[in-house]
Structure 1
Amino acid sequence: MWLRAGVPEDTQRLLAIQRAASLAAYGHIFPAEQYPFPDQQVLAESWAMLTDPACQVLVGVGDGSTAVGFVTRQADLISRLYVDPAYWRRGYGARLLAAAVDGARADGHRTARLWVLADNRNARSLYERHGWRIDGRTGTAGFPPYPTEIGYQLELAEDTVAAGNEDPVTTVDAATPPTSRSSDDRSAG
């Protein structure tokens, strides 16, 4: 996988990735027959993120130049880490997370923060494997039935090395894909 900066033309693909990942991962939290996926709201939010200079959107690209996942970051807050379910368990989520953490560290932040649904066990496991810890914050998600979210935090001290970040992620200009790389990393994501 290689990374590139998100551009407004990615809006529809990011919506498709978020919808597919949400339906696969959150069905027990947001049963589709009761809580249809909020396409228009997510589409508008995706566009806003992709056009906001304060928001960094990194798009993970698999073989064949297909966008397979993305993560967003504003200052020290990492959000919207989604990977198309067809690409789960290949390390894409871990690599996107590591790239966002590296961006926060490079911008001089001493900690990184994120929110996760309390019942999203796969995501929580991913974060905890990479050194994230519950920080005591709680809230509610912005979609019915308004499930509980919990806050996580990661210390970004200069001498801290992100666990599981042995394989550096290549970030390139969107117009020039790098040589294809495959991975045997089967971590969640």
Structure 2
Amino acid sequence: MAEWRRAMPVDAGPLADLERDANLVGLAHVFGDLPFPYDAVLTRWVLVLDDPEVVTEVVAGDQGLVAYVAYDPESLRHLAVHPDAWGRGIAREAVARSGASRLWVLEQNHRARGLYESLGWAPTGVTRECPRKPHPTELEYRHLGSSV
């Protein structure tokens, strides 16, 4: 099992770095050559870390953050694992830590969707447009064991 700790405001930059690193590998087929919106992501992390209703936990490694999960009482809001640590079960741990019953995932994020579905999540049929260009479709998922 990974060693998780609560994220602190000083982690905003490393959280944005990890999100960039995971996106550039895992979502290149979605965002292509568009530049990663680092400043907007960093600003979002500052706000997330300041939100008292959101818990953000991280796994630190020798070269920076290895994983993060951010969640509120109902929703898994953000999850990423550094590509160098994929396949170690860290994302499964993160989902379990959250205790969430709802999440949004990019329709074309097949790796994440496969993980969620293997853990008992299913799409609800509700979609929305991702705010990040080129505005891909996001799917709402609910945990099948949830009554919410």
Assess same fold via TM > 0.5: yes
Aligned AA for 1:132? W
Q: Does the CA contact (< 8 Å) of 1:60 and 1:96 recur in 2?
A: no
Deviation larger for 49-58 or 14-23: 49-58
Aligned twin of 1:78: 76
User: Which residue number in structure 1 is paired with residue 29 of structure 2?
Assistant: 28
Provide structure 2 residue ranges, at least 5 long, that are not aligned to the other structure: none
Alpha carbon RMSD of aligned pairs, Å?
Answer: 1.5
Does the 8 Å CA contact 2:14/2:64 hold for their aligned counterparts? no
Q: Give the Cα separation in 2 of the matches to 1:52 and 1:137.
A: 26
Structure number with the higher strand fraction is 2
Equivalence for 2:42: 43
TM-score for the superposition, normalised by structure 1: 0.73
Q: Whole-Å Cα distance in 2 between the matches of residues 10 and 122 of structure 1? A: 26
CA distance in 2, matches of 1:137, 1:2: 34
Query: 2:91 aligns to what?
Result: 93
Structure 1 runs (4+) deviating above 3 angstroms are none
- Check conservation: 2:66, 2:85, Cα contact below 8 A: yes
Q: In the aligned structure 1, how far is the partner of 2:63 from the partner of 2:26?
A: 24
Q: Is the 8 A contact 1:7 1:51 kept in 2?
A: no
1:130 to 108, 119, 128: 119
Partner of residue 61, structure 1: 60
Q: Which has the higher helix share?
A: 2
Contact 2:69-2:94 within 8 A present in 1 as well? yes
Are 2:81 and 2:91, in contact at CA under 8 Å, matched by a contact in 1?
yes
Task: Give the structure with higher Rg (CA).
Answer: 1
